[in-house]
Amino acid sequence: MSKTIHQRRPPASLTAAVDLVIFTVRDGQLHVLLIERGNMPYRGEAALPGGFVRDGEALDAAARRELREETGVAGDSLHLEQLHAYGDPGRDPRGRIISIAYLALGPDLPMPRAGTDASAAHWIPVSSILEGQLTLAFDHEKILRDGLERARSQLEHTTIAAAFCKEPFTIADLRQIYEAVWGLPLDPSNFRRKVMKTEGFVMPIGERRLPDVGRPAALFRRGLAETLTPPLTRSGSVDLQGGT
């Protein structure tokens, strides 16, 4: 942007898209929302939901709109952050398309309705993609891996794990988020201690949830803090899902 439009080499004209890596945790497993493509190219294959940025539309707004269109979720409630821009020439056979990827995290969401151009939308276990049982269209597997690494890192330094939980939630609910995203088992007792001593991570609401069996667990809401100081480190180096 430091050069004017009048110069030797004219700037390339291109199209911008947003793609969404939408994660949730369902019964202890990390899932990502994928659509089955209804149009060429890659018709019938699995891909991340997304769409083109419209005239006069901000990138964040395009991401929120696609999120709403593909999941039916009023975007305000979900955590959404820009992940990375992917712009290799040739990444899309239709032409020069730069994709701005976004990462969205949310609680177990209502089953997504099929999007406008997707023939179907499904929650897919992330492990099945990492293990190669399912391949994605375009460079979407790369985007997914980057999104996973970002999510894992965010769990260490911020309180967004709570964004995965439907309120109210228990400490065990929160721990299962960490275990699913990191692919590690955590010590329940030490995890509780860390969370409780981190000011503003969770707020007790003074009620309890009766499980099928075992002692009832106290219920919490999200706290006001956004960052974790000190961070919650994933030290145990087991990696059940083959990350980075």
What residues numbered 92-131 form the site for its own copies, per CB under 8 A?
92, 94-100, 115-118
Q: State the binding partner of 39 from its own copies, DNA, none, CB within 5 to 8 A by kind.
A: its own copies
Answer whether 180's CB lies under 8 Å from 28's CB: yes
- The whole-angstrom separation of Cα 167 and Cα 222 is 8
**What separation in angstroms does the CA of 227 have from each of 2, 99, 119, 124, 159?**
35, 28, 39, 29, 6
Nearest to 164 by CA among 35, 29, 48: 29
Whole-number Å distance between alpha carbons of 186 and 176: 9
Q: Which is nearer to DNA, 41 or 216 (CB)?
A: 216
Residues 210-229 that bind DNA (CB under 7 A): 210-218
- Rounded to a whole number of angstroms, the minimum distance from the CB of residue 243 to DNA is 18
**Which does residue 85 touch among DNA, its own copies, none (CB within 5 to 8 A, set by kind)?**
its own copies
Note whether 80 binds its own copies by CB under 8 A: no
Q: Is 234 helix (H, G, I), strand (E, B) or coil?
A: coil
Task: Choose the contact partner of 76 out of DNA, its own copies, none; CB within 5 to 8 A by kind.
Answer: none
Which residue type occupies 103?
L
Entry field: residues in the chain: 244
Distance CA 227, CA 90 (A): 38
Residue nearer to its own copies on the CB measure, 29 or 141: 141
Site string for DNA, 160-179 (x = CB under 7 A): ----------xxx-------
Selected range binding its own copies among 21-29, 171-179, 194-202, 227-235, rule: CB under 8 A: 227-235
Residues that bind DNA (CB under 7 A): 170-172, 187-190, 192-194, 196-197, 208, 210-218, 230, 233, 235-236
